[in-house]
Amino acid sequence: MIVAERKPFEEIKEMLKGYKKVLSVGCGTCVAVCLTGGEKEVAVLNAELDMARKLEEDPIELGAATIERQCDREYLEVLDEMVKPYEALLSMACGAGIQFLAERYPDKPVLPAVDTTFIGVNQDVGWYEERCRSCSACVLAWTGGICPVTMCAKGLYNGPCGGTDQGKCEISQDQPCAWFEIYGRLAGQDRLDLIKRFYAIVPWKNQKPRTLIQPGYKKPEQAK
């Protein structure tokens, strides 16, 4: 899932300076699961903003709407009427959702209430860890299911570097060395041959905006 973190309250408050009527828009998918931007988080943020602005003798009228997904036109549609009376929209979706919202309502300022952080896993309630950088060229087949691009602090394709320290990364004792783990897992599977060869320079595929059209489907404008 996509994991996001709520922005510091001060930053959000600063963004909303001057606005008197704002709609907070939550997203019911990834950011709701990671407890950052779902219905409940919208309610907490609105309560905070309401109180803070009253304390400053500058009240703000806040609306709340949480839709299933902000990255999907189908779900955005329900907002079309709702957004009209508001001066600005405060989105609690990931960066993709925020942009899709802004794209749909180009005359409204759309402001981010969260920082999109990573694609990760749920280790426990409220505890998430990054696992994927969406590099568009997955190498997990030969790295024992451990991603060197994401989990190695230097993204090395031929690791481990000389900084590995008793299985930990040089950046922190809390960070396992990805290549130490790759070695360990492949050794356990008797597949070390996979990393004995030198892996050549990578043609990066994530240096420009990417589009995916599945076979048999067309871009929306082509489909019309």
Partner 1 sequence: MKSGSNLEKVLRAGHFAFTGELGPPRGTTAEEIVEKCEHLKGMVDAVNITDNQTAVVRMASWAACLILIQEGLEPNFQMVCRDRNRLAMQADILGAYTHGVRNMLCLTGDHCMFGDHPDAMGVFDIDSIQLINMVKTMRDEGKFQTGADIEDPPKIFIGAAANPFAEPYEWRVHRLDKKIEAGVDFIQTQCIYNMDRFRKWIEQANDMGLTEKVYILAGVTPMKNVGMARYMQKKVPGIEVPEDLIDRLKGVGKKQVAEEGIKIACEQVEEFKEMKGVHGVHMMAIEWEHKVPQIAEQAKVLPRPQID
Partner 2 sequence: MRLDYPTNIKIIRVPCTGKVDVMHLLRAIQKGADGVYAVGCLEGNCHYNEGNLRARERVDHVRILLEEIGLEADRVRMYNLSSGEGPTFAAYAKEMTDNIRELGPNPLKKWAKTH
Whether residue 209 is preceded by a cis peptide bond, meaning omega within 30 degrees of 0, is no
Q: What phi and psi, each to the nearest 5 degrees, are found at residue 3? A: -105, 135
Out of 162, 209, 216, 220, the only residue in the binding site for partner 1 (CB under 8 A) is 162
Piece of 21-29, 46-54, 74-82, 89-97 that binds partner 2 (CB under 8 A): 46-54
DSSP state letters, 174-213: EEE-HHHHHHHHHHHTT-THHHHSPPPPP--S-SS-----
Out of 200, 212, 213, 223, the only residue in the binding site for partner 1 (CB under 8 A) is 200
9 makes contact with partner 2 (CB under 8 A): yes
CB 182 within 8 A of CB 144: yes
Q: What phi and psi, each to the nearest 5 degrees, are found at residue 127? A: -130, 115
Out of 10, 74, 107, 193, the only residue in the binding site for partner 2 (CB under 8 A) is 10
54 makes contact with partner 2 (CB under 8 A): yes
Would you say 128 or 179 has its CB closer to partner 1? 179
The minimum distance between CB 10 and partner 2, in angstroms, equals 7
The minimum distance between CB 111 and partner 1, in angstroms, equals 24
Would you say 43 or 156 has its CB closer to partner 1? 156
65 makes contact with partner 2 (CB under 8 A): no
Q: What phi and psi, each to the nearest 5 degrees, are found at residue 192? A: -60, -25
